Every structure is written in C-alpha cells, then in structure tokens.
C-alpha cells in the first residue's frame, strides 16, 4: 500500500502515436498537428508525436515528417518518435525528433509478428542506430514490448526482460520502457519486476507503459508507483492498441490517470480541464466513442442540479 504520495508522477502522452496507429479512419495531418499543439499546452514533459515506420505496416501514421515539422514546439516538451530501424531513425532526425524510441519484444513470436525479425537481430540493428545517432544530441529510449505477457507465448520470464534491459544499457541506451503491450500484467507481477529493474535503471530513466485490456491498468500504475516507478505512458481517451497483437486494446486513459492522482494527492502538473476538453472532442475526430471514463462521468467536483 502506498504510504508516500509526495513524489510527482510524470505522465507521458502517447495518443498521437500509439493512440492513432490502430484507428481505421484516416486522421488528417492538420488534425494531428492541432491535437499535439493542444497537448503541448497541458503540462506534459514528453509527447510521442508519431512514428517513422513503413506506411504499408502502419498507414495511419504515414505522415510522420509532416507532423513533426508542422507542430508548434513548446519549451520543456520533448517530442518523441517511435522508430523500427536505421531508416526510421534517419527520417526522424531529419524531421526534428527530440528522442527516438526503439522497440523490441521480450517474446520471440511477437517480435517476428511486429518487427519481422528475431529478437537478437533487432538488438543488433539497434547498435547501428546508436552509432548513427551518436553526437546528434538526441536521446534514445529502449522499449521492451510484451514485458508482462505475450498473446502467443503466455507469461514472459522476468530474467528474459532483465537480459533485454541489460542489452539496451550495454548499447548506451539510458531510457527504458517496460510495456504491457496486451494488458496482461497484474499488480503483484508489476511490483516484483519494477523493483528488480530499478536495481539496474534509475527511476528517472524508467517508464511503465500499461494497457487497460483487462481492466487493471490503473491498478498496475499504483503498484508500479509504490515500487518506485515515477514515469508512465498514457493516451488521451484511452486510445490505442498494437495492430500485431491479437486482443490488444487501448492504453490507460490519460485523463483517468490524472484524475486518480488528483483524487489521492499525487502531483502530476497536468491540466485536467484541458484534457477533458480534448478528450470530449475525440468522438467527432475519430467517428466513434472512446474508452475513457472521466470524460463521460465528469469529475467528483462536477455536481448536478438538485432535482425539483
């Protein structure tokens, strides 16, 4: 149980990338830019603004260059790009990305489905990216997909995850993300693994990325926070999901997470009213309702008139 609520919880917004990548309806480039510009005013230190993958693999994000060159950058906000390979890294740097997020799976099967290569080949390719980015001033982050379970292989051995973390660090990649790609994590599992990873990685360099597929997303955030984690990815409206993982659904919802923190006294520095305004505009933008709860129910302080 959490006994110290004084440590700031840092929310990193991923809806422009992870949130939109699975959307069946094309979101216009201008609308993506407008969304990122509004999110940039909400208090986030990091926004994952897009990816530089093959347009055949993720057609919804084929406009990465236009998005990164079109946004109005705010001081203190790091704009992150997800990249799969050296070509993606080259495109991202040319477009002005501040940070490159590299991804490989702890699961061999999922890595083949997602990256079309074996895990060891992914890690070898990352070495080329590190060499290319060296001296550019761009920060690198290494994500471990399917950290807490794989839809093809089931549970992932913790030592396997730690091996990948060590391999990232040996390449000189400081930032580490543990990603619950298909929402298979539970709080006890999260607590145990986060404590082990924090023996290798500082809290400032560790991010947790949870999905709410089985309704445990915010429970897992609290478990990770209690274990010492301080950085968390989330997506406006609870958007998102991995197109290469059967049954995957949305990320934990940003406004729901910020509301939870507000309610229990954990500081985030995020503008919740602005998030609610943006979230309530998503159905018109996307053509469907979104999973987030707070935008529908309102905050506890949003009282209704007394019936007459």
Residue 110, pLDDT score? 82
Whether residue 305 lies inside any domain: the answer is: no
**170: helix, strand or coil:** helix
The span from the first CA to the last CA of the chain, in angstroms, equals 43
Whether residue 169 lies inside any domain: the answer is: yes
Residue 248, pLDDT score? 59
Residue 25, pLDDT score? 93
Q: How far apart are CA 265 and CA 260, in angstroms?
A: 9
For residue 249, the enclosing domain spans 10-297
Residue 135, pLDDT score? 87
Domain tally, the chain: 1
Q: For the chain, which residues score pLDDT lower than 70? A: 242-248
Q: Are 161 and 147 in contact (CB under 8 A)?
A: yes
Whether residue 216 lies inside any domain: the answer is: yes
Backbone angles phi, psi at 152, to 5 degrees: -100, -40
Whether residue 108 lies inside any domain: the answer is: yes
Domain of 165: which CATH number?
3.20.20.70
Strands 175-179 and 139-145: parallel
DSSP 21-58: TT-SSPPPHHHHHHHHHHHTTTT-SEEEEEE---TTT-
Whether residue 2 lies inside any domain: the answer is: no
Whether residue 4 lies inside any domain: the answer is: no
Which residues are identified as catalytic? 242
Residue 303, pLDDT score? 83
């Amino acid at each position: 149980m959490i006994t110290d609520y004084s440590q700031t919880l840092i929310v990193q917004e991923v809806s422009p990338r992870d949130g939109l990548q699975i959307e069946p309806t094309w979101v216009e480039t201008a609308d993506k830019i407008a969304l990122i510009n509004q999110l940039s005013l909400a208090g986030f230190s990091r926004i994952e603004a897009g990816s530089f993958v093959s347009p055949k693999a993720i057609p919804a994000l084929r406009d990465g260059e236009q998005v990164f060159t079109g946004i109005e950058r705010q001081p203190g906000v790091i704009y992150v790009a997800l990249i799969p390979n050296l070509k993606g890294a080259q495109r991202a740097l040319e477009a002005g990305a501040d940070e490159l997020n590299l991804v490989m799976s702890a699961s061999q099967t999922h890595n083949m489905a997602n990256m079309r290569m074996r895990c060891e080949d992914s890690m070898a390719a990352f070495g080329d990216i590190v060499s290319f980015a060296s001296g550019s001033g761009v920060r690198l982050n290494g994500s471990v997909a399917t950290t807490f379970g794989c839809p093809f292989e089931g549970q992932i051995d913790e030592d396997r995850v730690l091996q990948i973390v060590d391999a990232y660090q040996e390449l000189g990649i400081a930032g580490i993300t543990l990603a619950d790609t298909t929402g298979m994590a539970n709080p006890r599992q999260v607590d145990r693994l986060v404590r082990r990873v924090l023996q290798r990685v500082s809290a400032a360099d560790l991010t947790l990325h949870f999905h709410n597929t089985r309704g445990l997303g915010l429970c897992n955030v609290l478990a990770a926070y209690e274990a010492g984690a301080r950085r968390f990815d989330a997506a406006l409206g609870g958007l998102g999901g991995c197109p290469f993982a059967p049954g995957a659904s949305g990320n934990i919802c940003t406004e729901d997470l910020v509301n939870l923190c507000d309610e229990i006294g954990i500081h985030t520095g995020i503008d919740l009213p602005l998030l609610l305004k943006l979230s309530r505009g998503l159905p018109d933008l996307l053509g469907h309702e979104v999973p987030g709860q707070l935008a529908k129910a309102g905050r506890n302080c949003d009282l209704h008139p007394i019936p007459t």
